[in-house]
Structure 1
Amino acid sequence: MIRDYSDFLPRRASDAGTHADLSPLQALGWQPFFAQQISIEELSATPPVRVVEVHRNGLHALGDGIDTTLPPRADLTVGDWLMLDSSRPRSSRVLERTSLIKRRAPGTDRQEQLIAANIDTAFIVTSCNQDFKVARLERYAALALEARMTPVIVVTKTDLVTNPQSYIDAARAVSDMIDVVALDARGDAPRTELTRWCKPGKTVAFLGSSGVGKSTLANALLESQSIATQTIREDDAKGRHTTTRRELHAMPNGCLILDTPGMRELQLTDAAEGINDLFSDVQRLAARCRFKDCQHETEPGCAVLKAIDEGALDAGRLGRWRKLMAEDAFNSASLAERRSRDKAFGKMVRGIKKLKDVRR
Structure 2
Amino acid sequence: MSLHELGWKPFFQQQLTLDEWDDAIPARVVEQHRSVIVIQTEDERLSLPVLPDMTGITVGDWLLINRENRFSRLLDRQSLFSRKAAGGKVNSQCIAANVDTVFIVSSMNHDFNLNRIERFLALVHEAGAEPVVVLTKADLCEDPQSYLQQVRSMDAMLMVEPVNALDTHSVKALDSWCSMGKTIAFLGSSGVGKSTLVNTLLHRQSQTTGNIREDDSKGRHTTTARSLHPMSSGSLLLDTPGMRELQLADCEQGVEETFADIQRLTQQCQFSDCQHNGEPGCAIEQAIDDGQLEPRRLNNYRKLMREQAMNAATLAEKRARDKSLSRLYQSVQNESRRRKKG
Q: Give the TM-score, by structure 1 length.
A: 0.90
What is the 5 A alignment of 1:1-360?
Answer: 24-72=2-50, 73-85=54-66, 89=70, 92-359=72-339, 360=342
Deviation for aligned residue 1:212:
1.0
Change (3 A) 1:227 1:190: farther
Which region of structure 1 is more displaced relative to structure 2, 43-52 or 301-310?
A: 301-310
Question: Do 2:26 and 2:41's aligned partners in 1 also have CA atoms closer than 8 Å?
Answer: yes
Distance 2:163 2:310 in 1: 37
Change (3 A) 1:60 1:316: same
Question: Do 2:56 and 2:93's aligned partners in 1 also have CA atoms closer than 8 Å?
Answer: no
Deviation for aligned residue 1:190:
4.4
Question: Do 1:241 and 1:262's aligned partners in 2 also have CA atoms closer than 8 Å?
Answer: yes
| Secondary structure class of the residue paired with 1:354 | helix
Distance 2:190 2:89 in 1: 25
Question: Do 2:269 and 2:283's aligned partners in 1 also have CA atoms closer than 8 Å?
Answer: yes
Whichever residue aligns with residue 144 of structure 2, its letter is: P
Distance 2:258 2:200 in 1: 30
| Secondary structure class of the residue paired with 1:159 | helix
Deviation for aligned residue 1:161:
2.2
| Secondary structure class of the residue paired with 1:352 | helix
Whichever residue aligns with residue 91 of structure 2, its letter is: Q
- RMSD of the alignment, in Å? 1.5
Deviation for aligned residue 1:301:
2.1
Deviation for aligned residue 1:115:
0.8
Which region of structure 1 is more displaced relative to structure 2, 342-351 or 303-312?
A: 303-312
Distance 1:358 1:308 in 2: 68
Distance 1:197 1:190 in 2: 15
Deviation for aligned residue 1:347:
0.9
| Secondary structure class of the residue paired with 2:323 | helix
Deviation for aligned residue 1:87:
5.6
Deviation for aligned residue 1:188:
2.4
Whichever residue aligns with residue 221 of structure 1, its letter is: L
Distance 1:53 1:188 in 2: 25
Whichever residue aligns with residue 308 of structure 2, its letter is: D
Distance 2:125 2:107 in 1: 21
Distance 2:26 2:188 in 1: 31
Cα offsets for 1:279-333 (capped at 9, x unmatched): 0100011112222222212222221112112222111111100000000000011
Deviation for aligned residue 1:86:
5.2
Distance 1:193 1:217 in 2: 12
Distance 1:326 1:243 in 2: 31
Which region of structure 1 is more displaced relative to structure 2, 159-168 or 350-359?
A: 350-359
Q: How many residues align?
A: 337
Whichever residue aligns with residue 150 of structure 1, its letter is: E
Change (3 A) 1:323 1:86: farther
Cα offsets for 1:203-255 (capped at 9, x unmatched): 10121111111111111111112222122111111111111110011111221
Distance 1:89 1:132 in 2: 45
Distance 2:42 2:231 in 1: 18
Gaps of 5+ in 1: 1-22
Distance 2:197 2:183 in 1: 15
Whichever residue aligns with residue 103 of structure 1, its letter is: R
Question: Do 1:143 and 1:271's aligned partners in 2 also have CA atoms closer than 8 Å?
Answer: yes
| Secondary structure class of the residue paired with 1:83 | strand
Distance 1:330 1:26 in 2: 40
Question: Do 1:190 and 1:220's aligned partners in 2 also have CA atoms closer than 8 Å?
Answer: no
Gaps of 5+ in 2: none
Distance 1:106 1:190 in 2: 35
